[in-house]
Chains A and B, each alone.
Chain A
Amino acid sequence: MSVRLRIIAAVTGVTVLIGTHAGYAMAVQVVTSPGGITAWLVEDHSLPVVSLEASFIGGSAEDPKNKSGLAELTFDLLDEGAGDMDSTAFQRKVEDLAASLDFDVDRDTATVDLHTVSANLAPALGLLRLALTEPQFSDNAVARVRGQLIDELEEEDGDPELRADHIWWNAEFAGHPYAMPTHGTVHDVAMITPDDMRGFMRTRIAREVMLTGVVGDITAAQLGPLLDKTFGRLPTHAAPSRIAVAAPPSFGQTLLQKMKVPQSAVIFGQPSIRRDDKDWYAAYLVTNILAGNGLTSRLVRELREKRGLVYSVYADLDPLLHGSVILGDVATENAHVAESIDLIRAEWARMRDQGPTAAELAAAKTYLTGSFPLNFDSTLRIAGLLVVIQKEHLGVDYLDRRSALIDAVTLADAQRVAKRILDPAALNFAVVGSPGNLPGVRNIGPGE
């Protein structure tokens, strides 16, 4: 019989018991190392594994002009040689520890995930320390990984959905760093030098912008010294952010890039409210009722269940640090694009004008509170959750309060917030395919 999630007194810092579900308590400890590095920890000794996520605020949006892809290329190279080990030697060590190190970049953050059996935690963290503090960026490795990244970017160009995604962000955030593709452009990636990457590590991978979550078979007392060993040599301060709050356009367009495919891909969305807005939870419920993932949203009912127009349609809130959006994704046979766009606009307007019904709101509350813990069934996903809570400044007791925050939304709140946030006229649609005539469409050339 395994051990239940234990509730433990904090060794250092604060412990908060988190009830994510009736009877379910995760104990989050805020651990501060002797050297002053903080990490959030959930101990779980049911399996001999440990996951760690360390996320650095400042992602691809901080890439310099004409050096888009810098964060991505740099992070791709961190396990390609470090200290006195070349990439094969380094990766051989990772494999022999049965560990994994994954580096990932999005618009707001650069993140590393470490997954290891607990017996190998110290040596695995030793490899992470080397990757973060002594990456080699050797000519060989840079040429190889640059070639792989360029191949990926070129392949994204031929993928209708990813192409539509690029077009949407470029239109929604014209003139703002969020307009740039997260992984950069072929032109820029070709120009990035090892010195650029060393500069990136020096100015952006710093302790003051690091958020860390640790979950698994480790105690607070064990974690503290390991934090110092792993991250103690990182610079304290990061260069200040250069990103202004985005001001997206208030009138949407339909943008089309022609591609010879049987099915058009469509990315759609509009500006939204910030994560710290008092109406966030109402917006979360309204968006879920309108367009949530799964088979129960209004968009799924209208487009898929009733008409068979699509396999998948959904939209959700994407709370970026410098400008939030509601972002959606749908694909349909070329002949049905115009009809699908009209239906999405109509459902957007109906929800804005009438809001959800009391029954819909009650069902969404049950779903969003009840299903939440199901998303956090692995140590790595819980570690990621701990980082997100820190990034959004939700507080160490957030999981304890989350259900109440959702349940407190009234029908009047939901109706008011639907009116406040949903604006069919502000929806941008980016279409890639051969959809025939679309009203008011603006054509986008391949190079744009």
Chain B
Amino acid sequence: MTADADSPAIRGRISRAARCALALGGFTLSIALLPPAATAKLFDAEVFTLANGLQVVVIPFHRAPIVSQIVFYKAGAADDPRGTSGIAHFLEHLMFRGTRTVAPGAFSRTVADIGGVDNASTTHDRTEFYENVAADRLATVMQLEADRMANLVITDAKVSPERKVIIEERHTRIDNVPQSLFQEAFDAALYLNLPYHRPAIGWLAEMQRLSTADAVTFYRTWYAPNNAVVVISGDVTAAQVRALAEKYYGPIPARPVPAHIVVTEPPHVVAVTLTMKSARVPNPSWLHAYLAPSYTAGEMREAYALQVAAEVLGDGATSRLYRGLVVDRKLALDAGAFYDPTTRYLSSFGFYGTVAKGVDPAAFQDAALAIVRAAARDGLTADEVARAKARMQAEAIYTRDSLNGLALSVGAAIANGRTLDDVEAWPDRIGAITVDQVNAALKAVVDENQAVTGFLLPEPAS
């Protein structure tokens, strides 16, 4: 039931202060630190498509007799029609409020009654629902998900209390948290025209007006088998899953689904600086970002190169930024880089820091950008790039060490128009990136004339 809160396990060592900065960066920062996939040798997945267009991915893993089902819809907050920001996330909540045959609340009750757990989340690019159950209960949760894919019933009586719930959720995640309000404004400045301009959970005033009709329209527009990906991972075989998928999802008719709106970001010709003050932050925070390609928008090869660059510049305690600003010069409590290549539209590449007490935030920024400029001008070294690549490849295996980790990566990739091959080949593609490619990509993305900068500053309590 979350918006923009995939909260993936953060791999590797993250310093204490980095955890605060991650909360500040939210979705983008945390995703950027997660390797998107494991190696081709590590899993043996199968994809097939039903006659109605539903894509099904099976990832067998027999460590324990448990199974996870994740249903991805290729529609998220980026598809919220103008004036109804938050509707994708609101619909995600309403998916738990009953269908023609399943009473309100009975979905989660049924999953709990078979000893399972369920939840859902909405990002800009997609909406996903999952259930983890004992392997012999897969049919039950497939039947439930198939039912609400086609038979959801949305009424005013359900919409009214649930709208209050999402507003409380917004208060908890955003309005009560200065770092989240700051991030929201930062994203609005960074993306001039892309739908990432708007928060996935919605603007408060628009959430208050979301109607039954808005939810029904979004559901009828996007929730169809030919716009969904079902990922089943765990103690199953492809043959078992195929039979169950045919039985439960097969009868749902395909429907015309519109293409995602084509949105073009205009050239950024103005460098923007935002400042926010809050009595509830102890030390200044800094964000600095540029538009960047993702796997599916812009040049794909550059995305892999930028992942390596972000690792060298700003992932962990030995990165250039952390070592230079925190360890050596003591200007900051934390510093690092963020980059998420998995977005549907263009992404962003950037840096964050928490400024040490008594240090002028502008002086900190000068020092940080000096490190960035030097890296873009002179390049990262062959040794730095080799170390980063080796670590990224080796750590890819950890996505397998949980029931949902790999399934989330694979499903998100396929829902965004990429392929299983893309995910399987991730370690190889990282391995193939050269130092020159990393340095060229970094040079291309670092452009101070179009950078967006944010300062969140402490303010004495009034």
Interface residues of A, Cβ cutoff 8 Å to B: 1-5, 21-24, 44, 46-49, 51, 76, 79, 87-88, 91-92, 94-96, 98, 100-102, 115, 117, 140, 143-145, 147-152, 154-155, 157-160, 259, 261-263, 265, 294-296, 301, 304-312, 331-333, 363, 366-367, 369-371, 373-374, 377-381
Contacts and interface: CB of A to CB of B under 8 A. Distances in A.
B11 A366 contact: no
Given A117-B394, A147-B357, A263-B176, A310 B165 contact: yes
B8 to A, nearest CB: 13
Nearest to A120: B394
A3 B60 CA distance: 12
26 contacts: A2-B61, A3-B62, A21-B64, A24-B64, A46-B63, A87-B317, A88-B317, A92-B318, A96-B391, A147-B356, A148-B17, A150-B282, A152-B17, A263-B176, A305-B105, A309-B164, A311-B172, A363-B113, A366-B112, A373-B64, A373-B66, A374-B132, A374-B133, A377-B132, A377-B403, A381-B402
Interface in B373-424: 387, 390-391, 394-395, 397-398, 400-404
B301 interface: no
Contacts of A48: 397
B330 interface: yes
A379 B401 CA distance: 7
Contacts of B136: 22
B169 interface: yes
A259 B462 CA distance: 12
B116 A371 contact: yes
A262 B387 CA distance: 47
B398 A49 contact: yes
Interface string B112-128: 11111100000000000
B161 to A, nearest CB: 3
A149 B60 CA distance: 43
Contacts, number: 216
A47 B401 contact: yes
A47 B104 CA distance: 41
Closest 5 CB pairs of A and B: A370-B115, A308-B164, A158-B280, A154-B282, A308-B161
B109 interface: yes
A98 B13 CA distance: 10
Interface of A is mostly: mixed
Interface in B152-170: 160-169
Interface in B257-282: 278-282
Contact of B165 (A147, A311, A363): A311
A304 B60 contact: no
A140 B410 CA distance: 43
A294 B112 contact: yes
Contact of B395 (A98, A294, A369, A370): A98
Interface in B271-325: 278-283, 316-318, 323
A380 B401 contact: yes
Contact of A301 (B13, B105, B133, B169): B105
Contacts of A304: 161, 165
B449 interface: no
B112 A149 contact: no
Nearest to B169: A311
B165 A91 contact: no
Interface string B327-353: 100100110000000000000000000
B313 to A, nearest CB: 14
Contacts of A5: 63-64
B168 A46 contact: no
Contacts of B12: 95, 100
Contacts of A306: 161
